[in-house]
Amino acid sequence: MSRVEKFNPLKASTLSRKRDHERAGRRAEAVPISEITFEEVKRDAVRFGLATEVSSQMNAGKEASIFLAHWKGHPIILKAYRLWQTSQAERRKGFYALEKMESVAAKEYDVLSACFKATVHVPTPIGRVGNYLTMRFLGDSSDPAHQLKDVRLEDPEQAMEQVFDEYLIMYRDAKYVHGDLSAYNILWWRNHPWIIDVPQAYLVGPWADMKVVVHLLKRDILNVLSYFKRYGVQGDPDHILKGFLSEYVPNNLRNSRELLGVWTNE
Ligand SMILES: Nc1ncnc2c1ncn2[C@@H]1O[C@H](COP(=O)(O)OP(=O)(O)O)[C@@H](O)[C@H]1O
Ligand SMILES: [Mg+2]
């Protein structure tokens, strides 16, 4: 047994059984959601030192489940990425479900950390082991904050400004494009928008593909604007996009072709 294996906290968990299975030379198969039970999640989270208690499941999305957990009586959020079926194409590339699941959780943790350090309103990341991560619980006692889509805003115009201000800090200072920003992935709490669900964020560094950056930024901006339309609040997506790009573009990419297109509105 290697040193790494010996101290691997995932050993003997559902995850490692699955991994052993893979190591035995067989490919990961689709694992139905029900295979990871609430009890297993609870046992893993406590044993990994991520929570002292897992109380209830709040949400089950396509790739992850959200649990209300506790650390010594304080509410926290536990997000568990689940196994999902790897596509034929991915299998051919040798990229398997387990590695993917862990790397997605690690990515979300890293992006949350970068955003938090840049003072974006995101749930403070707490810990990450394997496919599990924990973060600050946004809400009061055990009443979670609502998604933006479910709140009735008193001052929608100001709220929209707050959302784009938050996003600008994320883009300019944390240097990430969210990539899935919408009224579902923004929580409204204490009169402020909080950005969540960041595993697909795209790093806007010197190696970024500005075509991808512009595409994702535009889509995020349009998603946010489409939500605010219900209040009759409008915004000019091109103007907002240009505002973002004028605040930050990696130095080496200032003259990239895609950007010149954006500037000249082609
Ligand atoms: N830190 C948090 N505090 C309170 N509620 C949360 C938190 N994180 C997630 N949630 C709730 O769980 C839902 C799903 O979380 P999200 O990270 O968007 O996962 P998914 O990948 O399933 O969309 C959110 O819309 C929100 O209602
Ligand atoms: Mg989400």
pLDDT of residue 11: 52
For the CA of 123, the closest atom of ligand 1 is 1
3-140: CATH topology is Phosphorylase Kinase; domain 1 (3.30.200)
Whose atoms come closest to the Cα of 33: which ligand? Answer: 1
Find out whether 130 and 48 touch, Cβ atoms under 8 Å. yes
Is there a common fold for 3-140 and 145-263? Answer: no
Q: Whose CA is nearest to atom 10 of ligand 1?
A: 66
Ligand 1: residues with CB < 6 A are 58-59, 61, 63-64, 66, 77, 123, 135-139, 144-145, 147, 184-185, 196-197
What is the Å distance from ligand 2's center to 196 Cα?
7
pLDDT tens digit at each of 266 positions of the chain: 444 444 455 555 555 555 555 555 444 444 444 457 899 999 999 999 999 999 999 998 888 999 999 999 999 999 999 865 556 666 565 556 777 889 999 999 999 999 999 999 999 999 999 999 999 999 998 799 999 999 999 999 999 999 999 999 999 999 999 999 999 999 999 999 999 999 999 999 999 999 999 999 999 999 999 999 999 999 999 999 999 999 999 999 998 877 777 766 55
Task: Give strand pairing partners of 139.
Answer: 144
Which residue(s) pair with 193 in the sheet? 188
Nearest CA to ligand 1 atom 16: 197
CA triplet 108, 114, 119: central angle to 5 degrees?
Answer: 120
Closest C-alpha to ligand 1, atom 23: 61
Its CATH class, for the domain covering 145-263, is: mainly alpha
Q: How far from 229 is each of 3, 211, 217, 225, CA to CA, in Å?
A: 56, 27, 18, 6
Pocket test for ligand 1, best of 197, 198, 227 (most atoms within 8 A of CB): 197
pLDDT of 36: 74
Ligand 1: centre distance to CA 150 (Å): 13
Tokens of 185: 């992935």
Ligand 1 atom having least distance to the Cα of 79: 17
Residues serving a catalytic function are 180, 197
Query: Is 0.95 surpassed by the pTM of this model?
Result: no
Dihedral (Cα; 212, 214, 220, 224), 10-degree rounding: -170
Query: Among all ligands shown, which has an atom nearest to the Cα of 60?
Result: 1
Distance from residue 181's CA to the centre of ligand 2 (Å): 9
The residue extents of the domains of the chain are 3-140, 145-263
